[in-house]
Structure 1
Amino acid sequence: MFETQKRSWALAGGIFKQTQVASLIDRRILALRLPGLGGTLGGAGYTVHMMFFLVPFFIAAAVTLFVIHSSHAHGHLSADGDLSGPQKFHSHPVPRIGGVGMFVGLLACVLMAWEQGSTTARLGFLLLVCGLPAFAAGLIEDLTKKVSPGKRLLATMASAALAFYILDGKITRTDIIGLDWIVGTSLGALAATVFAVAGVANSVNIIDGFNGLSTMCVTLMLLSFAYVAYQVGDTELTLWALAGVGAVLGFFVWNFPAGLIFLGDGGAYFIGFFLAEIGILLIARHSQVSPLFPLMVCVYPVFETLFSIYRRRFIRATPPGLPDGIHLHSLIYRRLMRWAVGARDARAMTQRNSMTAPYLWTLCMTSLVPALLFWDSTTMLVICMVLFGLIYVGLYWRIVRFRTPKWMVFSAQLRGGPGTADSGKPD
């Protein structure tokens, strides 16, 4: 099992090099002061402060590994044994309760901060409390397969409402004429906040289709929030964004590339809620941050969801909630990866699965770059969102019409054969 993980890492690493994605997070983010503990990450307190990232990472990784190795005991409940659905791309039953490790990792971070007397512990604890309805509803669905999409949506909305009142995580400005008047009222702010948080949580679940896809995107998004939180001097939000990164990566190392465990609905809803709340708290606390900055950061999963609803409702005339196999990530898998690794055995299927995500990580980065450049300019963010939408739709229709761009065709060197192959006619 672990030899497969090592081989898959080497293969996926080669693909990711093709994307030439560089890190956007400034190293100065490490020179932060932790309230209640003293010192800076760049000074004598470096080891203590790094625990905000390391504790959730190692705890999440350890708990996730335990879940994997104990799957023989709970697999009859936790394993995803449906291998034939339109959104199923694995070859054998896999546990889908990866959210447990992330939740426990963040809880351990809260306990660590509380034991050290840090004032940041309160925010982390309340984030977990508020996110509990979304996490619980998703986890119950993962175990029983009996929680309807409507009930899960209500659970994510309940989490958003709790954060609205308990954390004061409110959307009270948008910089959009007319809409600002609506969110300026208590009821309007509540409606906008609940809609936004539930929307992001569900959109993260939508893109959770391949090994490492949603979790790496969420990692990059949380790092973006951490960067801007640092820029505006909000150490508390920076630290909890980094804690979220640690917890997500603790799961990621077992999910990508070999797919030893899946995130599941519980994990997707929870990290989606966590991501949305960090973004909303950032704009609620700091007026210099554009209210559209969190949307620009999360625009890939949000646009994927909106486009899917439009495609199903108006083009295919099917219910918006009905799953299908023609999301952008599904098309990349079926029309590029199917030919790059064409064998039908389980190992080839795992390779195709892991080779899909880096393409979407790159797409995600195309929204994060302008978001980090123009985090304080609503006008520029609107322009960049429109451009992202055009890029997404153009890319989608080129793939669906078998006109895949040449740069997306997988290189022959990485798959060990001469020439290149594509399901369409690259140009």
Structure 2
Amino acid sequence: MYYDTYEFNSLPFIAAILPVWLAGMTEDLTKKVSPLKRLLAAFVSALIGMWLLNAKLVRLDVAWLDELITTYILVNALLIMIAVGGITHAMNIIDGFNGLAGGVVVMILSALAYVSYQVNDLFLFAQCLALIGATMGFLFWNYPRGSIFAGDGGAYLWGFMVAEICVMLVYRNPQVSPWFPLLLVIYPVWETVFSIYRRKVIRGLPAGLPDAIHLHSLVYKRLVRHMIGSKEAEHMIKRNSLTAPYLWCLAAFSIVPAVLCWSSTPLVLLFTGLFILCYCGLYAMIVRFKIKRWMTAGGGLKPAAAAAKKTNS
């Protein structure tokens, strides 16, 4: 347990995050940093975090894996790069609509703050609260009107900080299930894994290409796009802002169980599997146009009906 005697020093976090944040900011400004280069920057940040923050794996509750990660530092480093780099990149994937990524980050950080407090890790608790405050300030301007945006730099900052806090929480507190972070971030992580599978395996396309059929894109196109019928800027902003609440609710299906079962590996893995099934079922439902009436605030209006209603009014 880490109590009052622990020094609240955020400088190691800042040093660790610099490579991936700079890569994201450079992409925002120049549009010339490829996804692979940004992912490599995330790997570098993960290694710096492993060195400066002790953000490394100590157990996975699988005997042979536990032996590997405690015996071979290179195996530990490889898994840390995959985990931290993956979460960092995944947070950028879901940053597609006003309030979406920011809202999910606040939910995840709130869960991490709760568990940190439960295990008396005040350093991580303070980091979570600081990030929640900063993100809420961002959301004030970002949602619903989209006055400012996080960009790649902001999304990578969120993703890296969430990943580092997750790893450190498990490393520093043996009572926390090592799979708790996976359930906590399974929405952005599975969105990324599923997108790679769909593009690379099913469609035979490069995994790094832009994707127009992420789940949040489908929610916008098939659930909220026709709720407000015109192409006026004000209506487009409203449609954009209606997308995030759907995905916030989806993320809650993993975050709430994670908060309730943070110390139980079997329950955490069970709920992780259930979330993946729910995600795939929801995705298939929307793709096949089998959308339930209750899922649309406009009562499930068809595009033509929505347009006719607008004309008559």
Normalised-by-shorter TM-score class: over 0.9
Letter in 1 for 2:185: C
Q: 2:301 — aligned with what?
A: 421
Contact 1:153 1:198 (C-alpha < 8 Å) held by counterparts: yes
Equivalent in the alignment of 1:301:
188
Which of 377, 386, 409 is the equivalent residue of 2:264? 377
Which residue, 11, 23, 26 being the options, matches 1:140? 26
Q: CA RMSD in A?
A: 1.7
Q: Partners of 2:39 and 2:154 in 1: how far apart?
A: 14
Establish whether residue 235 from structure 1 lines up as the match of residue 126 from structure 2: no
Cα deviation digits, residues 292-332 of structure 1 (max 9, x gap): 01111001000000000011111111111111210000000
Residues 147 and 192 (structure 1), Cα distance of their counterparts in 2 relative to 1, 3 Å cut: same
- Structure 1: state its 5+ residue gaps: 1-32, 37-117, 413-418
Structure-1-length-normalised TM-score = 0.69
1:102-126: CA deviation from partner (whole Å, max 9, x where unpaired): xxxxxxxxxxxxxxxx921x1x221
User: Which residue of the other structure, out of 93, 96, 100, is the alignment partner of 1:213?
Assistant: 100
Counterpart CA distance in 1 for 2:158 and 2:186 is 16
Q: Would you say the 8 A contact 1:292–1:381 is kept in 2?
A: yes
Give the percent of matched residue pairs that are identical in Structure 1 and Structure 2: 48
Q: Which residue of 2 aligns with 1:30?
A: none
Q: Which residue of 2 aligns with 1:272?
A: 159
SS of equivalent residue, structure 2 residue 226: helix
Does 1:398 find its partner at 2:294? no
1:119 match: 7
Q: Is 1:130 matched up with 2:4?
A: no
Match 1:364 to one of 230, 251, 263: 251
Question: Aligned partner of 2:252: which letter?
Answer: M
Measured at CA, do residues 420 and 150 of structure 1 come closer, stay the same or move farther in structure 2, by a change above 3 Å? closer
Q: Secondary structure at the match of 1:341?
A: coil
Q: Distance in 2 between matches of 1:207 and 1:373?
A: 25
1:210 and 1:420 map into 2 onto residues whose CA distance is 21
Whole-angstrom CA distance in 2 between matches of 1:423 and 1:387: 33
Equivalenced residues, count: 302
Change beyond 3 A, Cα 1:177–1:326? farther
**2:308 aligned partner:** none
1:187 alignment partner, one of 71, 74, 87: 74
Contact (CA 8 Å) 2:39, 2:85: kept in 1 or not?
Answer: yes
Instruction: Output aligned runs, 1:250-399, within 5 Å.
Output: 250-399=137-286
Provide runs of 4+ in structure 1 moved above 2 Å: 33-36, 176-182
Q: Partners of 1:286 and 1:34 in 2: how far apart?
A: 12
Contact 2:261 2:268 in 1 (8 A): yes
Shift of 1:337: 1.0
